[in-house]
Structure 1
Amino acid sequence: MRDSNRPATMLLHYGEDKSEYQGAVVPPIYQNSLFTFKDWDSIDKAFDDPVNNCIYTRGKNPTVAIAEEKLAKLAGGEKAKLFTSGMAAISSAIMHCVKHNGHVITLKNIYGPANNFLGTYLKEKMNLEVTYISGTDIKEFESNIKENTCLIYLESPSSVVFSLQDLEVVAKLAKSHNIKTIIDNTWATPIYQKPLSFGIDLEVHSCSKYIGGHSDIVAGVVIGSEKDLRGIFESEHALYGGKIAPFEAWLIMRSLRTLPIRLKQHEENGMKVAKYLEQHPKVKKVYYPGLESFEQYELGRKQMTGYTGMMAIEVDCQEVEKIKAFMNSLEYFYIGVSWGGFESLVYVPAISYLKEMTPEKFSAMGISLGSVRLSIGLEDADDLIADLDKALKCLN
């Protein structure tokens, strides 16, 4: 079969050999814990390369392997490894790169649990030093590199404020100092941004978001070179035991078939809603890289080919009761912490961030009680706009 690099075609066909499963149009779920062998020599040979042989489902499983092959191909990586959650993928990728008494440069606005993992958990367990920067100026990275810097951890666009980092420039700087780079690319997905092509070492995703897309999966993935992924497979993945179940991998395969067309609709809806909010008198600011008014719009155009459906707004109100009324009066936007599914969601980050971090860290993120996160789903955009228009009246 012709090997297409076009996502819509590739995600339907790549990594599948229907002759291996009786011509079934959908690959089967290999829901088994172990794989048996006909003799001593067969299993002995398999143990010579456990990465590429099915021995025990904590390692390689055929259903999981197909989903991993599709994700690696989509991102332009050599290998991918699926995990039980986005945080399992993030923590495993980080642990692969850091060392005791090491130093990490990251952003003030990274995902809260990743922030806590680096700045609290690993600080206590490994005496890891973490420097937080805005990441919008390469000089910030340059001036904070130390002799023991082992990792630069990125998230572009970043959480809540959607700030971008120049991936090509950061990757070049890191390589010149022999520093590993990881990016959380969940927002853009490999459809709209390919960090590995800019020289980033490892790409992580919460597959619970757009890759899953149906709000019925919790999973994560790490994508990168064969060397790095073999190291993660043999160490962090094998020893922490964060393997994904075959059924979840099968659901990811299901979701990948519609990922390109879903993202087109998320982008169309997102852009329409963002432009509406941009002109609303009760909205002080819209954080959405697809808007021409976004401070880093040109950088976004340079390294992304499209935009998804999550954004944040800063409402012109700091009164808790009014913001509660705004949130509670929305009908098509459910209240929830995740995003990237078919449904539209609303969330005020202050609810959890003030529980996860100190007030000082929260303030440093550049957000407030009036920062509201919106995940624009697949409903009709005009219905979502009408819903928002009604709810925003609660802020008067």
Structure 2
Amino acid sequence: MSRLARIFSFGGPDDGPYRLRRLIGMSLGLIYLFYPVAEVIDGRVGTAQAVWRMVALAAFVSVYLTVVLGPRGLGHRPRWIFPLLALATLMGAAFPLVFHSESWLTLPVYLAVVYAMALPPRRAVLGIGAMAALLIADGLVIGAEDGLLWMLVLQTATLGVLFMSVRNTRVLIGKLKEAQSEVARLAAAEERLRIARDLHDLLGHGLSLIVLKSELARRLAEQGSPKAAGEVADIEAVARQALLQVREAVTGYRRSSLPEEIDGARAALAAAGIALTARTSGAPLPEDLDGLFGWAVREATTNVVRHARATRCEITVSYGERGAVLEVADNGRGGPYRPGNGLTGLGERARAAGGDLEVESGGRGFRVRIRVAPPPDLTRPPTPEIAADRLAE
């Protein structure tokens, strides 16, 4: 791809749409060039002069847009941008004198915008002041009207300060995105450390107990004691319990419930600058659904922190005669849905519980919904005998 094609490329995930908006905004600002164009259109200059003026104007506009739409966004200019900036400054200083026309005094105004967008704040202020001084000098040489001259000076200062603010806003937004990415990375690292700590505690305790009982069972077996079989049975029970606890630690079930996972999600989302709203309705969830929904909240909110770039997230839980429903939705960028290991595993667990997983992704965000059908004893009204038993209890 050529250098010019890369400059005007809009294919990047973040900078491309912003660069397109810059192109539209800067193109609208070119309306100030109506005055030098009008001199050519209304025939105030000869044919040769008209050609030279249009060539000069096209050259200035090309250099101006190339500098403004430089690749990689604000604050990351390649070195070849600065020679173009010097060339644009030379054009802005020379063309009003060469063509000896007040209409060309608008060029320093554009240069003030370029300096404001391309340079750090202190240098940008110096550049804007230099363009105001250049405008006054050119205006005095060509004998421009005082009213027009001071109006252009005021516009130079005003637009320069305005676009400095725009540039600073873009820089702050970029830093905020970097901070959110760092928060997501730290959250993922903290989750890995949590699992590592749980596994260390579980395996350290369980394996130590297995080693001790294995040594005892070996000594009893060497002595021919019938108690060896009991110790072996204890080893099997300890191993099964340790395996179960390891699985619970990896899947996030261990010492956690849906309310705890919602509290953890609120803390993680708040750290990423995302507001959480949680709503629950209906009867309390049974233990198996509480574990499933807790794991789903952990997986869904982790995806929100890592990928959504959202500002708001909503968790809705309901349980009643129509079954149990969990919904986690955000207002971030949805994009095409590509199922990963987390959501694939979540779908398998939902189906194992008799439910299903629904995922919606679009321009308004990302939505994860789990529906589980109600158990028969919840949908069927209790018989008088059952009601009496429950009343007696």
| TM bucket, shorter chain | under 0.3
Q: Please say which structure displays the higher CA radius of gyration.
A: 2
Q: Which has the higher contact order (CA 8 A, sep 6+)?
A: 1
Identify, as 1 or 2, the structure richer in helix.
Answer: 2
Scaled by the length of structure 1, the TM-score of the pair is: 0.23
Scaled by the length of structure 2, the TM-score of the pair is: 0.23
Identify, as 1 or 2, the structure richer in strand.
Answer: 1
